[in-house]
Structure 1
Amino acid sequence: MIRNKKQWLLRGLSMLAILLLSGCSSLSYYTQLAEGQLDLLRAREPVADVIADPQRDPKLREHLRKAQQAREFASQHLHLPDNQSYRLYADIHRQYVVWNVFATGEFSLDPVTHCFPIAGCVAYRGYYSQGAARGEAALQKLDGKDVYVSGVEAYSTLGWFDDPIISSMMNWGDERLATLIFHELAHQRFYVQDDSEFNESYATFVEQEGTRQWRAARGLPAEGASSESQRRDQLTTLVLATRDRLKALYAEPLSPEVMRQRKAAEFERLRSEYRTMRDSQWSGDKRFDTWVYAPMNNARLLPIGLYDQWTPAFAALFKQVGGDWPAFFAAVEKMGALPKDQRKAALERLSKI
């Protein structure tokens, strides 16, 4: 009886939180969100128990042990939330925890947004089932939208629940897992509604600076940008240039037929420039071929560049406060309280320092 009461309480709390987080009108969408989150909550177990169990995979136990060292560092040295998030583990038995559906107009780079009372407006809709995500994508396509479905290995509930380390994250290296913990705990520390660029750039800076300090604390040398990171940045530059050209194109008074032809030409230009860069500068490294040569549309470009647009501004802010984390977070919160146009102007000023 107690167990049943606990299950119903957990189900009720899950549904309530999801309804608060979601502004969607579809009951079926509410239901899949609630059930998916509930399944994740049920799968959680203390990381300490997994590490202590000799019957569990030794590689998993060691990976989690190192993750817990980073988790302690996050709270003790980076002044990030000290709670049960990332001190729990959940095996979900699938590659991704959710699938996000991005959509735009055929001749637009503005995303179809979905607004939630707590999280604010975001440029995607998440599904715990790949089939449901594909179904939503098909409906959007029937409506004439450009659509992109992207699998996600981890996400944050912004402190509403104790977020676990998920099995979908276990293919990452020890340091990559640590950076994810720093990033997501930064979101728990502070989050602004309706400003993804601010939120993600802020969390990315915390991730990067936190990783630098985490390496220093273990006596490891500062690590320069890896070849993969450098090449990802170069590809991002190409994609952002393509977005700029498409934005200018879509503002022109052209017929739909001509617009489609020129749109397709821009995507071919992106692929051509990528091939030249890959073969002349990367020694033929094809690690990004799958993404570049997949069917291309406006929605596929949406996530690119989102996570680091204002990272230099937050780096400048951190330097201004002398590298003091509490002072940095106080300054971020002060900036986050500004109206969006004033917040953007403040970030632009910091970026020029």
Structure 2
Amino acid sequence: MIRPLPSLGLLDRVFRVLFPGVMFLLLNGCSSVSYYRQLASGQLQLLRAREPVCEVIADPTRDQKLRAHLAQSQKARTFASQQLRLPDNQSYRLYADIGRPYVVWNVFVTPEFSLTPQNHCFPIAGCVAYRGYYSQSAARGEAALQRLQGMDVSIGGVEAYSTLGWFNDPILNSMMGWGDERLATLIFHELAHQRMYVKDDTEFNESFATFVEQEGTRQWRAFRNLPPDNNAQARQRDQFIELVLDTRSRLEKLYAQPLPAEQMRQRKAAEFERLRGEYRQMRDRQWAGDKRYDAWINAPMNNARLLPFGLYDQWVPAFVALFNQAGGDWLKFYAAVETLGALPLEERKTALKALSGSASAHQPKNQ
């Protein structure tokens, strides 16, 4: 049974009671008061902006396109719980207009000659490979400080995130520029984080959620009697990601060599130029000149810009194999994922590598 959303007044009181204790825990981790203050105020702003989706849909004074988009989202939300066995709560049955195109801006940081991210650790979420800001200007300020220290830095806007079940997460206005199916896939992805989350292992968490998103979308299309999605955009995305991951691998080998800084810098730049060249060849020869990734590839390049690709895709083949081993049964699959998540980090990586290399890790079974 879904619990009713508490009133905003109650929510504010609870937040005020909990906040001093949370700040005490966070500040004991030697982090700045200002950073956590903006996290708390940004989250509170989001919570206050929420309203039930059903009320927005029923309100004739609201934008008709918004109402229709939200109505379709709720069909996918019901499918997520009933068919994908994802959490059945108020998350994504609420809507919030926060008045900006992104909910947060993530700042990724690496050393100049390393692909190891600068991690940030939190009491609940554990360690992640970025730092989030509710203000774009604050993210830019942090990025500037890191660059002054000689670090590679990248800023990425984020349309949605999960509070891992601590709050009922809303559909945001930042998510509404997508089509109905893309919005559904995001709901599947974020609910997957509520279903399973391992502290201090971003690659595991994001790859798991990406698999649930992809397999969930396949089943969502089948549920609506639509053909499999074999469109060119999906193939191009996969090919582009493969190019970037190949570049990451070459850079990792480069950075392991004992080279002088200037020589390392030149060879690093050459690898990025190789990436651009390979991309343009693929674009012109295989994609009929489709330029959807031109803006990304032509922007200034550094290690930090490559980080999100490995984080979100590294272990997807392992979860495909695990889903096949579970016979396509979501509950058995989640139980197997929980078993993996309980392993020590190195044992978990060994198991994931074995799954990725197994013969069954190619295509999910048709259900």
**2:143 matched to 1:143?**
no
The AA in structure 2 aligned to 1:68 is Q
CA contact (8 A) 2:49 2:97 kept: yes
Determine which of 114, 117, 122 is the counterpart of 2:120.
Answer: 114
C-alpha distance after superposition, 1:127-177 (max 9, x if no partner): 000000000001101111000011111111101110000000000110111
Which residue of 296, 299, 304 maps to 2:304?
A: 299
Residues 52-61 or 230-239, more deviating: 230-239
Which amino acid in the other structure matches residue 118 of structure 2?
V
Deviations 1:239-287 (CA, angstroms, capped at 9, x unpaired): 1121112112212222111111111111111111111111111111111
Change (3 A) 1:331 1:6: closer
> Is the alpha carbon distance of 1:339 and 1:95 closer, same or farther for their aligned partners in structure 2, counting shifts above 3 Å?
same
Does residue 54 of structure 1 match 2:96?
Answer: no
* Distance in 1 separating the partners of 2:8 and 2:122: 32
- After superposition, what is the alpha-carbon deviation per residue over 1:291-310, rounded to whole angstroms, capped at 9, x for unaligned? 00001011111111322221
CA distance in 2, matches of 1:279, 1:71: 39
For normalisation by structure 2, the TM-score amounts to 0.91
CA distance in 2, matches of 1:349, 1:262: 33
- Residue 265 of structure 2 corresponds to 260
Residue 20 to residue 187, structure 1, CA distance change in 2 (3 Å):
farther
Query: What residue identity is the alignment partner of 1:179?
Result: T
Partners of 2:173 and 2:30 lie apart in 1 by 28
The one-letter code sitting in structure 1 at the alignment partner of 2:146 is Q
Contact 1:18 1:33 in 2 (8 A): no
Deviations for 1:162-202, whole angstroms, at most 9, x for unmatched residues? 00000000001101111111111111011011111111111
Deviation at 1:7, TM superposition (A): 2.9
Partners of 1:58 and 1:182 in 2: CA distance: 25
Q: What one-letter code is carried by the residue in structure 2 that aligns with 1:99?
A: W
Distance 1:233 1:20, change over 3 A: farther
CA contact (8 A) 1:24 1:114 kept: no
CA gap of 1:180–1:19, structure 2 versus 1, over 3 A, is farther
Moved more, 208-217 or 296-305: 208-217
* Equivalent residue letter for 2:232: S
Letter in 1 for 2:274: R
Query: What does residue range 30-45 of structure 1 map to in structure 2 within 5 Å?
Result: 30-45=36-51
User: What secondary structure is seen at the aligned counterpart in 2 of 1:304?
Assistant: helix
How far apart are residue 3 of structure 1 and its match? 7.7
Pair 1:179 & 2:185 matched: yes
- Kindly tell me: are residues 6 and 292 of structure 1, through their superposed partners in 2, closer, same or farther at Cα, counting changes over 3 Å? closer
| Alpha carbons of structure 1 residues 295 and 19: separation in structure 2 relative to 1, 3 Å | farther
Q: 1:18: Cα distance to partner?
A: 7.3
Structural RMSD (CA): 1.8
Is contact 1:104-1:298 (8 Å) kept?
yes
**Residues 238 and 51 of structure 1: is their aligned pair in 2 closer, same or farther, counting only changes over 3 Å?**
same
Q: One-letter code of the match for 2:138?
A: A
Counterpart mapping for 1:214-229 below 5 A: 214-224=220-230, 226-229=231-234
1:322-341 pair list within 5 angstroms: 322-341=327-346
Please, which of 184, 187, 198 is the counterpart of residue 192 of structure 1? 198
Distance 1:6 1:259, change over 3 A: closer
Alpha-carbon separation, structure 2, partners of 1:136 and 1:11: 27
Q: Does 1:155 align with 2:152?
A: no
Aligned length in residues: 351
AA aligned opposite 1:335? L
Unaligned runs of 5+ in 1: none
1:4 offset after TM fit, Å? 6.3
Q: How many Å separate the matches in 1 of 2:60 and 2:329?
A: 41
Q: Hey, what's the Cα distance between the residues in 2 that align with 1:182 and 1:118?
A: 22
Indicate conservation of the 8 Å contact 1:14/1:38, yes or no.
no
The 10-residue stretch of structure 1 (270-279 or 151-160) with the greater mean CA deviation from structure 2: 270-279
| Consecutive aligned runs of 4 or more in structure 1 exceeding 4 Å deviation | 2-6, 14-24
342-351 vs 14-23, which moves further: 14-23
Amino acid at match of 1:277: M
Percent identity of the aligned residues? 71
From 118, 125, 140, the counterpart of 2:131: 125
Contact 1:18 1:30 in 2 (8 A): yes
Q: 1:24 to 1:182 in 2, by over 3 A?
A: farther
What is the alpha-carbon distance in structure 1 between the residues aligned to residue 302 and residue 241 of structure 2? 15
Unaligned runs of 5+ in 2: 1-6, 360-367
- TM-score by length of structure 1 reads 0.95
Within a 5 Å distance, the mapping from 1:89-100 to structure 2 comes to 89-100=95-106
